[in-house]
Structure 1
Amino acid sequence: MLQQYLSIKERYPDVLLFYRMGDFYEMFFEDAQVASRVLEITLTSRNKNQESPVPMCGVPYRAAQGYISRLIDNGYKVAICDQVEDPKAAKGLVKREVVRVVTPGMIIEDELLDAKANNFILAVACHNQLVGIASLDISTGMFRLTETEDAPAVIDEIMRLAPREVLIAENLKAEDTFSVLFDSLTGFAVTSLDTKVFEFARSRQRLLDQFDILSLDGFGCETLKAAVSAAGALIYYVSETQRQKIEHLDGMQTYSLGQFLIVDDQSRRNLELSANIRLGNRQGTLLSILDQSVTAMGGRLLSDWLRYPLLEPDPIEGRYNAVAEAVEKIQIRKDLRNCLKSVQDIERLGSKIAMGHANARDLTSLKKSIATIPELLGILDGFSAELYRYGQSTTPLTELAENIHRAIREDAPPVISDGGMICEGFDDELDELIRISRDGKGWLAELETKEREATGINTLKVRFNKVFGYYIEVPRSQSKSVPDHYVRKQTLVNAERYITDDLKHFESRVLNAQEQRASLELKIFSAIVGEVKAHHNDILSLARFIAQVDCLSTFADVAQTNGYCRPTLNTEGVLDIRDGRHPVVEKLITAERFVPNSIRLDNQDDQVIIITGPNMAGKSTVLRQVALMTIMAQMGCFVPAKKAEIAITDRIFTRVGALDNLSAGQSTFMVEMQETANILNNATANSLVIMDEIGRGTSTYDGLSIAWAVAEHLHNLNGMGTRTLFATHYHELTELEQQLERVKNYNIAVKEWNDTIIFLRKLVEGGTNRSYGIQVARLAGIPEPVIKRSKAILAQIEDGSHPKAVEKKKVKDRSKKKDGHVQLALFSPMERKLVETLQMLDLSRMTPMEAMNLLNELQNKAQTVVY
């Protein structure tokens, strides 16, 4: 047995081998040591009395999924080695083979998957400076590929898909060109394959064989050599790990990154689209607000729409039309969603069945889901063609559901090898075997009664176990009353066990009937599975139809519940939102009412908006809500506003906050500058840029200089500029409104009262020259002595004098300080006051004499400024 184990293990050195022995999966040697530690199970050994005992541990066959899940979550792969022949028919050792390798990207069991999230495995390949990406969710059959020459875009796409496993060629690790790419894979399960696996010719042939075609032109990827190389490597890996051809992969979707609104990985995190930036879960994200879907398929499709917002107005408008009608027809929508609640995850059920991993309960779930389709289509009749068209090409599969209903019992056991799955009346031969088994139970009861009467032993029992089969058990105290034709088989402490010729004859007849029944039921079950496999494409089409209907009705539910409006799309660069709200924040705040805000961006007058105001006033909320509404609109979803006109946007960039990346040796400022560089190098006239407090990571004047230059660059980008929201504490930037034609100033209004401030949360026109930092510090709980001291220091600075420390003994002797670089202020406090005075003048109402007097006063003040 160990020789067989070691010969199999030799072919799978990098995985944990689950070796089937009876009712257990056993592990040996190093595998046992690893598994016992990770799974926290007992480590024992075989041949304990020998000098070198073999480490060993095991898990029950029927409970293996839970243990496999824990191993996968801890970064391990598991090879399932099963008995592949009947032990009764085997000559010598039972033959065993690996029937499947479970890896993070090769999971199909529902209990190991997130119902509303895809489980992607991804392959990356290179060909002539192009990078190809292929992604696959084997549990649903979703198979996509693309290629690009933009290396950063590859990283963003990997992060957007968030795969559980990534495949790469071994030779790429040594190439410096891809070092950044590999650095981005930290945290993913990365599997290296032989470079030959990624060769284009081999990969192309694998795809042709998989889909039984002569050319890849039908999938639009014949000339995409990098993408085809990645896709072919995926097919190789799937066949190697699953030990079969994956029949439910019936096609590929070729796409271009330019087909969709691009939101880079950093911006996705900043906007918290699908993951909370602090905890990493869905709480407090846009997805948590939008995903009110009632089916697993609808939830996955909605996540996909969030990952890939559209660029073409027509399909977006098609979604709007469907959502608008569903909003209007409330009762029909409610009936529709109640009907959808009865639909199981037929997309993943179809894949399990196609791969041969389904049981009778899976078929029953599929049957019940199919049975709801006629009702669903009937409800959709109440809508116009805009929503109903999603189901017009759907095959109801009523006949398939009826066949499953006639064949499979509702109370079928989870294990297909034990029998008890097939309904009586479906097969005459099976009915006869069932009758024999059922009559046998009655015969046993009659035998027990007859033997009690014949022997006078009232405590005599007829029983069964797997070791002895059927037997008669008599208390030892009554053994003298046992007839001579009883044959003793076992002696227990308190009982004797016997057999008789009649009992053995019965056992042979009944056990054979039960074995024949289980074998015949498995044969019938396989035939039903084959019928389901033949309809796999129809099942997949049905799943997509249900997912689309669920998504669109979910959008309608969310729109009506939250008071969203239908946006108007344009390609002229106009973004005009009236009383817009942040879809997440408005749901989370409880202490105050959410204040809506209006904002307009265009390419003629209001292209760059400078927003000033104190911390905590709501600048970041306004910025984020504009970006989120743009994404929602291009998903086909209504938006949280009274009225909204949304410009079709090709990319959204955000520079919001920053954290030190200490592991990469990057400071806050370096991270900030890298993100800014990405924006300046990749933004276009159709992009939306969100800049929040750029330049905070360095000294005030360096930061101001950078912020000023960045704002100018975005205004002048490629001679056209790009739509930009620019929140800042550098009030000097408000002067850009006077110098650049498409810059406008706005601020978040506050009200001062009793030396404190009240946040009004309202975005109003005009800049502000105050940050209210000390007042905000008081609200944050800074002790009052510190607040008072801060105010005194501020007054000294504004008067042009240098603040002095309270404790004189701690003042350093500045005369001993070596000469060095001194950074000069761009504007002195006195200059600032002169500028503010000029800004507040109303020349149209001043007399010549008043103007002369004021000019004389300003000249006297200016003479006190020291340069």
Structure 2
Amino acid sequence: ENKDLSLLATLDLTRTPMGGRLLRRWLGQPLLELDDLNRRLDSVGYFHDDGFRRSNTTALLSHIPDMERILGRINAGLVAPRELLALKEGLDAVPGLVEQLCAPLVGSDAEAGSGETGSDETGSMDWLSRELSPIPEAAALIESSIAAEPSGAVGEGNVIRQGFSPELDELKRASHDARGFIAGLEQKERERTGLRGLKVGYNQVFGYYIEVSKANVAQVPEEYIRRQTLVNSERYIVPELKEYESLVLNARERLDELEKSLYRQICGQISESGSAISRLATAIAQLDVFVSLAEVAMRNDYVRPRLDMGGVIDIKDGRHPVVEGVLGPGDYVPNDVYLSNDDARIIVLTGPNMAGKSTFIRQAAIITLMAQIGSFVPASQAVIGLVDRIFTRVGLQDDLTTGQSTFMVEMVETAAILNQATPRSLVVLDEIGRGTSTYDGMSIAQSVIEHLHNDPRLGCKTLFATHYHELTQLAGTLPGVRNFTVAVAEEDGDVIFLHRIAPGGADKSYGVHVARLAGLPSGVVNRAWEVLSELEESNNSDGRPIGKKSRRDRTPDLQMALFNPAQALADEVKALDIPNLTPLEAINRLYDLQQKARNPGDNV
């Protein structure tokens, strides 16, 4: 799956890792508290209405590191010196963030998409500015103790800033001076002995040594003490060299121990401010999300929804935020949605394949979710009665790990919805029943709608997309059901999908049209037209649509079987690899075969 084509990717313009993680959590945990939601919306509006403030805050947030991660590494003793410098840079940016929260309104973008659902004022950000409490002592400690450009590992003398520890500075000078002496010794000995190839080296076994090539061994002074013979050279030591070696190694060892000890002390002092840093990181993450949602709202012309505890979802000119982002500005066809726990609980949506039914029902759920995380929404106006859960049953897939068929997965998920939904829930069902035979699927779809409508424990707002056009008849017997369809235009045998949702029901699926658009060979398409004509003529031979016939009238000849159903069923049984089926797979296959045996006319 393309992660860029997700709601999270659409809304995520955060500048800090903490903000990105918080936005993800918000999407997974929408709110039910009206006051908390309105405070979030006020905060988004605060930046939505002032482009100058939004731009300045975004620039400051870009300098904030992952404080939560750095704090965790400090507590674990794993933090690197450069991470401490990054933490200090983030702490230094806090006063600027507070200033943006307290500064007067400079420029307003509010007229660009305010809509009627916006509040009269965006409210105060004092609550957040109080959480953005600077920690000057931690910033000052890092500034005074860590070198501006730390290099190498802690203990090599390049991490602690000059002047922080006089003892460490003295060890650095001693080590530097001794190394300088050894480097000067090489040049001095060359001049004294006349051995131009002479060099001073070091290894872990012999320490510092003087190396002379074999050709010049005869010229080596008598005070040189041989320590190692190589193929092309000899290695020597002198008392003066070993004396300075002792100084160098002792200084280095002490320097290593002291710098590591000082670094641990610095990290320990910073960790004492851990709770304050954690609270600050949380506040910065919230600020980052508010600015991100405000920027997305401005770029895409979102409006502030009006939230209440009522039972109505009323969206004017709603748009699917992800699909709109793919299509580009102005190309998406907006649609209205009205659902009420009283008079319009269930929308039965019919229409052609590929016309946008699934996009429409998902759109309503996404807009509701966005409103309940405190985001502005893609619409010209939106009133959202808070829902306690959003249930969806969309898509088709097997669960191979448990041996569940496509239809079984569909039924398990539908059962979970019917058992867990409440009157305050929003339910989105897409093509329930398509995973089984026509009559079984239609029967299940109708019974699900009736249950959602009639069960006193439910009565929840539902969007039900289906290709069973016969279900539109339910609006005549169930007062809470409303029929809608996706409008199309036919011209010279071609179909134009208008993507506009209109009241009423559809009477055709235009499946063969879609097959032609998909590129099926013309011979296949032409034959499909012929078979379709035969089926329609046979199914309506008694003057009644299929949906109005009784079950005992539904004989195999009405299904226009293209082969012998009994023979096909027998062949399928013979082909079963029974020894290699799991018990659950065997039950599923037996269930499928039983359904085909009961409805032989559906096995086409």
Amino acid at match of 1:301: L
The aligned counterpart of 1:841 is: none
Deviation at 1:611, TM superposition (A): 0.4
Q: 2:448 aligns with which of 710, 722, 734?
A: 710
Partner residue of 1:614? Answer: 352
* 8 Å contact kept, 2:434–2:441: yes
Partners of 2:436 and 2:209 in 1: CA distance = 88
Counterpart residue type for residue 448 of structure 2 = V
Structure 1 counterpart of 2:500? 762
Q: Answer yes or no: is 1:730 the counterpart of 2:468.
A: yes
Counterpart-to-counterpart distance in 2, 1:659 and 1:464: 68
Question: Deviation at 1:326?
Answer: 0.1
Match of 2:68 in 1: 347
How far off its partner does 1:583 sit?
1.0
What residue is the counterpart of 1:415 in the other structure? 153
Deviations 1:651-701 (A, max 9, x none): 111111221223322111111111111111111110001111111111111
Q: Quote the residue 2:88 is aligned against.
A: 367
Which amino acid in structure 2 is aligned with residue 295 of structure 1?
Answer: T
1:312 aligns with 2:33: yes
Query: Cα 1:678–1:812, aligned 2, differ >3 Å: closer, same or farther?
Result: closer
Aligned to 2:509: 771
> How far did residue 609 of structure 1 move?
0.5
Q: Does 2:510 correspond to 1:789?
A: no
Distance 1:799 1:453 in 2: 114
Alpha-carbon shift at residue 797 of structure 1 (Å): 2.3
**Secondary structure of 1:604 counterpart:** coil
Could you tell me how far 1:649 is from its partner in structure 2?
0.5
1:753 aligns with 2:491: yes
Per the TM alignment, residue 387 of structure 1 is displaced from its structure 2 partner at its CA by: 2.9
SS in 1 for 2:321: coil
- 1:129-168 CA-partner distances (Å, limit 9, x unpaired): xxxxxxxxxxxxxxxxxxxxxxxxxxxxxxxxxxxxxxxx
Determine which of 374, 377, 392 is the counterpart of 2:98.
377
Amino acid in structure 1 at the alignment position of 2:85: T
Question: Aligned to 2:184, which of 412, 421, 446?
Answer: 446
Q: Following the alignment from structure 1 to structure 2, what is the Cα–Cα distance between the partners of residues 795 and 385? A: 64
Q: Answer whether contact 1:394 1:538 (CA < 8 A) is retained.
A: no
| 3-state SS in 2 of match to 1:694 | coil
- 1:420–1:518 Cα contact (<8 Å) kept: no
Whichever residue aligns with residue 367 of structure 1, its letter is: K
Q: Identify the residue that residue 659 of structure 1 maps to in structure 2.
A: 397
Cα displacement (A) at 1:647: 1.4
SS state of the match for residue 435, structure 1? helix
CA deviations on 1:395-446 (whole Å, 9 max, x unpaired) are 3111221121111113223532433211111111111111111212321232
Aligned length: 543
Structure 1 equivalent of residue 432 of structure 2: 694
2:11 corresponds to which residue?
290
1:402–1:719 distance in 2 versus 1, CA, 3 Å: closer
Q: Which amino acid aligns with 1:755?
A: G
Query: Higher relative CO (CA 8 A, sep ≥ 6), structure 1 or 2?
Result: 2
- Residues 1:631 and 1:803: Cα distance change in structure 2 (over 3 Å): closer
> Shift of residue 626 of structure 1?
0.7
The 8 Å contact of residues 157 and 172 in structure 2, kept in 1 or not, is answered as: no
Question: How far apart, in 2, do the equivalents of 1:742 and 1:813 lie?
Answer: 40
Match of 1:143 in 2: none
Q: Following the alignment from structure 2 to structure 1, what is the Cα–Cα distance between the partners of residues 223 and 69?
A: 59
Q: Residues 634 and 803 from structure 1, CA distance in 2 versus in 1: closer, same or farther, beyond 3 angstroms?
A: closer
Partner of residue 521 from structure 1, selected from 259, 262, 270: 259
Instruction: Tell me the equivalent position of 1:507.
Output: 245
* 1:358 partnered with 2:96: no
Give the alignment's TM-score, normalised by structure 2: 0.85
- Cα distance between partner residues in 2 of 1:616 and 1:587: 19
Counterpart-to-counterpart distance in 2, 1:376 and 1:466: 53
Shift in Å, 1:489: 1.6
Identify if the C-alpha distance between structure 1 residues 333 and 414 changes in structure 2 by more than 3 Å, giving closer, same or farther. Answer: farther
- Once the two structures are TM-superposed, the CA of residue 355 in structure 1 deviates from its matched residue by 1.9
The alpha carbon displacement at 1:331 in A equals: 1.1
CA 304–720 in structure 1, closer or farther in 2 if over 3 Å, else same: closer
Give the structure 2 partner of residue 640 of structure 1.
Answer: 378
> In the alignment, is the contact (CA less than 8 A) between 2:566 and 2:600 conserved in 1?
no
Residues 602-644 of structure 1: per-residue CA shift (max 9 Å, x gap): 1122111110001110000001111111111100111111111
**Contact 1:387/1:549, CA 8 A, preserved across alignment:** no
3-state secondary structure, aligned to 1:584: helix
CA apart distance, 1:511: 1.2
CA distance in 2, matches of 1:698, 1:400: 65
Residue matched to 1:589 = 327
Alignment match, 1:25 = none
Counterpart of 1:288, as a letter, is A
Query: CA-atom RMSD, angstroms?
Result: 2.6
The CA deviation string for residues 70-128 of structure 1, in whole angstroms up to 9 with x for no partner, is xxxxxxxxxxxxxxxxxxxxxxxxxxxxxxxxxxxxxxxxxxxxxxxxxxxxxxxxxxx
Provide the residue aligned with 2:366 in structure 1.
628
Greater helix share, structure number = 2
Is 1:332 aligned with 2:53? yes
What secondary structure does 2:304 align onto? coil
For the structure 1 residues 596 and 408, does the alpha-carbon distance in structure 2 shift closer, same or farther, using more than 3 Å as the test?
A: same
> What is residue 847 of structure 1 aligned with on the other side?
none
Range 386-395 or range 370-379, more displaced: 386-395
**Residue by residue, what CA displacement relative to the aligned partner does 1:508-535 show, whole Å, maximum 9, x if unpaired?**
0111111111111112112111111111
CA gap 1:705/1:534 in 2 versus in 1, 3 angstroms: same
The reply to whether residue 478 of structure 1 matches residue 213 of structure 2 is no
TM-score (norm 1): 0.60
CA distance in 2, matches of 1:410, 1:294: 24
Give the whole-Å Cα distance in 1 for the aligned partners of 2:503 and 2:565: 48
Return the alpha-carbon distance in structure 2 between the equivalents of residues 662 and 518 of structure 1.
Answer: 58
What is the match of residue 301 of structure 2? Answer: 563
**In structure 2, C-alpha distance between the alignment counterparts of 1:408 and 1:811, rounded to whole Å:** 83
Name the SS of the counterpart of 2:125 in structure 1: helix
CA distance in 1: counterparts of 2:559 and 2:172, whole angstroms: 99
Aligned partner of 2:68: which letter? E
Give the match for residue 160 of structure 1. Answer: none
Is 1:544 the counterpart of 2:265? The answer is no
Q: Retained in 1: the 8 A contact 2:197–2:212?
A: yes
1:33-72 alignment runs, 5 A limit = none
In 1: Cα distance, 2:289 partner to 2:143 partner: 29
> 5 Å matches for 1:201-216?
none
Supply the distance in 1 between the matched residues of 2:72 and 2:318 (Cα, whole angstroms).
43
CA distance in 2, matches of 1:813, 1:567: 55
Q: Percent identity?
A: 46
AA matched with 2:5: G
Offset, 1:345: 0.7
Conserved? CA contact 2:229–2:235, under 8 Å: yes
| Cα distance change on mapping 1:613 and 1:493 into 2, 3 Å | same
Match of 1:424 among 141, 162, 172: 162
Q: Aligned partner of 2:11: which letter?
A: L
Residue type of the alignment partner of 1:310: L
The CA distance in 2 between the partners of 1:598 and 1:544, in whole Å, is: 37
Question: How far off is 1:497 after superposition?
Answer: 1.5
The SS at the match of 1:646 is strand
